[in-house]
Amino acid sequence: MNVYDSARMTDVLAPLGYEPTEDQTQADMVVLNTCHIREKASEKVFSELGRLREQQEENREQGRDLIIAVAGCVAQAEGQVIMDRSPWVDIVLGPQTYHRLPEMVARAERAAAQDDRRYTTNERRLRGFGILDTEFPAEPKFDHLPMPTAQGPSAFLSVQEGCDKFCTFCVVPYTRGAEYSRPASDILAEARKLVSDGARELTLLGQNVNAYHGNAAQGTGTWGLGRLIRALADINGLDRIRYTTSHPRDLDDELITAHADIPQLMPFLHLPVQSGSDKILRAMNRGHTGAEYRAKVDRLRTAVPDLVLSSDFIVGFPHESDADFADTMALVRDVGFIQAYSFKYSPRPGTPASAMESQVPEPVKSERLAILQEELMRQQNAFNQSCIGKTMAVLLDRPGRQPGQLVGRSPFMQPVHVPAEAGTVGDIVHARITSCSATSMAAIPVGKTGHDPLTTDRTCPV
């Protein structure tokens, strides 16, 4: 979602004459697009703002200005704090207002033209310089954004935003707002545009993407995510469909059936569980049990036998005992994951969990995380090793780091390195896996296809 938002901010700034640069020292504006999920990310923002202040002063000495903006969820949650701690920041905007960024930039440029930089940071604050916009507008921001442009064979497409689940550890409902689903007709139009630009794979985005319930493309009523995916699969030239991030509570029969019926829907699903302990899941307000999670996984794998999973885990949540952690380890071993994101619990200000008693000591969190990550890495390695000798359809999406090499993604989201002569970026090649590491694989091409009918020997059981 943050990558998508950054691309859309680039789109809305283009009419003002701004274009991206890889050299920050040459920038006329720097936008920090931020995440508030973990504490360290928030502190990184203020560290980076200190460095940017120095660059801003250097630019001023050279007769140039530097507009500094902070966007995203840290901006939403701590906007006034940013303005108070770093009053040299020109713009602070939340994730629901970046469609208004051109107006904010125009105001900031006018302020710069008035030479407000001659004032000290305290004087700037007292004189009211600085723009803070962290409202939740009544109108959807998507109604005011230009059509995106695909920058390669794989593109993101936001279909849903916000969250109504209120997990006790999470800030997303407070920074992204209530769940909102875009109309299906708007999504289909954007998808056709991205495919016409050269995208062959679309990843549908949402904080709770499988809670999607947008207005139907024709007639009345609403579509769920499964129905939307069926319509997307009819777009000529769209060879691959993925979606993230899902909530187990919203995984319904229609979506499971779509996995079974639609070959373009990749056999890889990110399905966060967070814990295997029912006690901890209740404390997290997840709305499901470990058994219910296992049952949904079983239904998925009955529908699609070669489907694989990734997940999210939090260890050291308040009140987590050794027995609770053992339940998590049991779920990991029972289900099997080919990838996972795992973290120590990090209290986020304003969330219910941050005020809970029985916070787990840091050394205990660290020990449990090490044990969990060792098992997750063992499973990931085992899966990758099981793929050696298999033939997979690989969508080549970027040049490799080594000369004569291209990199793409397997149906299971693994990075696959193939010789460059196998094709060009945007091609789908059938490649036989020859070796692997913990995080990627190497392959040799055995054929190229214009479409992506997954090969019959794609199965790589954990």
Please enumerate, by residue number, every residue annotated as part of a binding site: 163, 167, 170
Which helix or strand (DSSP H or E) is residue 448 part of?
strand 441-449
Residue reference for tokens 């530097």: 66
Residue 460: which residues within 8 A CB-CB, separation 6 or more? 306, 308, 383, 386, 387, 390, 412
User: What does the block give as tokens for 222?
Assistant: 């609403």
| Binding-site residue positions for [4Fe-4S] cluster | 163, 167, 170
| Complete DSSP assignment for 289-355 | -HHHHHHHHHHHHHH-TT-EEEEEEEES-TT--HHHHHHHHHHHHHH--SEEEEEE----TTSGGGG
The answer to whether 447 and 419 are in contact (CB under 8 A) is: no
d(CA 383, CA 394): 17
CA distance 82 to 87: 7
Task: Tell which residue, 55, 46, 127, 51, has the closest CA to residue 85.
Answer: 46
First vs last C-alpha separation in the chain: 29
**Considering only CA atoms, which of 260, 254, 259 is closest in space to residue 243?**
259
| Phi, psi dihedral angles at 71 (to 5 degrees) | -120, 175
Burial grade of 320 (CB within 10 A; 0-12, 13-18, 19 or more): buried
- Beta strand pairing status for 131-133 and 91-93? parallel
